[in-house]
């Protein structure tokens, strides 16, 4: 099973060095702490928007970990992504409550509408589709999150209207919510 890792940084050539310099500072800060790998990966994903190969290799050398181990940890946690992310992250809840109230249908509808599978990003890099297990909003099931906004009791008929709010890259508050 082979996973495609972005071989060249997609973080923009102009800023790549700046971002790696920021990463180096993080590595230096965490280097001596036990259990540094996961927090450093989290911060790195925050810096780059995802985990490009150049960042992972820098982390492996900086924390004196093998690259295979770093890759294993990245692959284990669904939070980490080695693919560039869209401007907006859609997370459909498939926790028990959301699942029984139509979360799966919502996810299928989103896949169709966006033309991508879970973990993928639309060609215009506007949306990345992901699943989640329970936001703690079971009373509002089925729920999905786009970036930090929780959308409640979502019906497939209402999906397009929700997506439209993020069309130009900035969410527009809807009067209905």
Residues that bind other proteins (CB under 8 A): 1-3, 5, 56-57, 60-61, 65-72, 75-76, 78, 82
CA of residue 50 relative to chain centroid, distance: 7
Minimum distance of other proteins from residue 51's CB (angstroms): 11
Does residue 156 have a cis peptide bond before it, meaning omega lies within 30 degrees of 0?
no
Query: Which residue's CB is nearer to other proteins, number 11 or number 74?
Result: 74
Query: Which residue's CB is nearer to other proteins, number 45 or number 82?
Result: 82
Query: Which residue's CB is nearer to other proteins, number 78 or number 105?
Result: 78
Q: Tell me the CA distances in angstroms from 22 to 11, 16, 34, 101, one per residue in order.
A: 13, 10, 21, 43
Minimum distance of other proteins from residue 87's CB (angstroms): 25
Q: What is the SS3 assignment for 25?
A: helix
Q: What is the SS3 assignment for 88?
A: strand
Query: Which residue's CB is nearer to other proteins, number 79 or number 174?
Result: 79
* CB atoms near residue 115 (< 10 Å): 9
Query: Which residue's CB is nearer to other proteins, number 62 or number 171?
Result: 62
Minimum distance of other proteins from residue 2's CB (angstroms): 5
Minimum distance of other proteins from residue 81's CB (angstroms): 13
65: which residues sit within 8 A by CB, 6+ positions away? 37, 59
Minimum distance of other proteins from residue 69's CB (angstroms): 5
Closest by Cα among 146, 150, 151 to 166: 146
């Amino acid at each position: 099973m082979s996973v495609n890792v972005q071989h060249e940084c997609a973080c923009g050539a102009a800023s790549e060095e700046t971002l790696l310099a920021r990463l180096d500072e993080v590595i230096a800060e965490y280097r001596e702490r036990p259990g540094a790998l996961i927090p450093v990966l989290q911060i790195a994903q925050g810096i780059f928007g995802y985990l490009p190969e150049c960042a992972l290799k820098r982390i492996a050398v900086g924390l004196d970990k093998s690259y295979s181990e770093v890759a294993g940890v990245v692959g284990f946690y669904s939070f980490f992504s080695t693919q560039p992310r869209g401007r907006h992250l859609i997370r459909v809840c498939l926790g028990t409550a959301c699942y029984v109230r139509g979360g799966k249908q919502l996810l299928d509808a989103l896949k169709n509408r966006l033309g991508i599978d879970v973990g993928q990003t639309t060609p215009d890099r506007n949306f990345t589709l992901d699943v989640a297990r329970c936001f703690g909003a079971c009373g509002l099931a089925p729920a999905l999150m786009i970036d930090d906004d929780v959308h409640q009791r979502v019906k497939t008929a209402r999906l397009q209207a929700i997506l439209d709010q993020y069309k130009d890259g900035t969410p527009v508050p809807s009067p209905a919510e």
